[in-house]
Structures are given as C-alpha cells and as structure tokens.
C-alpha cells in the first residue's frame, strides 16, 4: 500500500509540473499569435502603400 501511495504522489507531482508547462506554453502561444497578427497587418499595410521592398528569389528589383 505504501508503494502505491508513493507512486501516486509522484504521478500527482508530475501532472502538476506538466500542467505548469502547458500553461506556460499557452501564454507563449498567445503572445506569438498576437505578434504574427501584428506583423501580418503591418505587411498588409505596406503592400497597400506599394512600398514592399522585399526581393523574393530571382525577382529583379524595380530599377532594372
């Protein structure tokens, strides 16, 4: 019986630790989601202004 109680205590501690990790990851995902949304909005505004200065792949810059 004592062995089962020890295992249960260990499992409960492990579950609590994992719960804390998941909660931390959830907060981090929320922050990153907001940052991505902000960056996408900025890029959409930049494209709307026509000032997108990023050259992709083999695309020639407009001054050629």
Assigned domain for 42 exists = yes
> Do the domain assignments include residue 61?
no
Tell me whether residue 14 is in a domain.
yes
The answer to the question of residue 38 being in a domain is: yes
- Confidence label for 49 from pLDDT (cuts 50, 70 and 90): confident
- pTM score over 0.85: no
Residue 25 lies in a domain: yes
In a domain, 29, yes or no: yes
Band (pLDDT 50/70/90 cuts) for residue 57 is: low
Average pLDDT over the chain reads 88
Contacts for 9 with CB less than 8 Å, ≥ 6 apart: none
**Domain membership flag for residue 28:** yes
In a domain, 53, yes or no: no
Parent domain of 12: 1-46
The Cα–Cα gap between 27 and 21 comes to: 10
């Amino acid at each position: 019986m004592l062995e089962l109680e020890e295992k249960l205590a260990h499992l409960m501690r492990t579950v609590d630790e994992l719960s804390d990790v998941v909660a931390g990851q959830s907060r981090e995902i929320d922050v990153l989601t907001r940052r991505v949304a902000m960056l996408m909005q900025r890029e959409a505004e930049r494209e709307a202004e026509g000032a997108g200065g990023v050259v992709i792949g083999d695309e020639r810059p407009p001054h050629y």
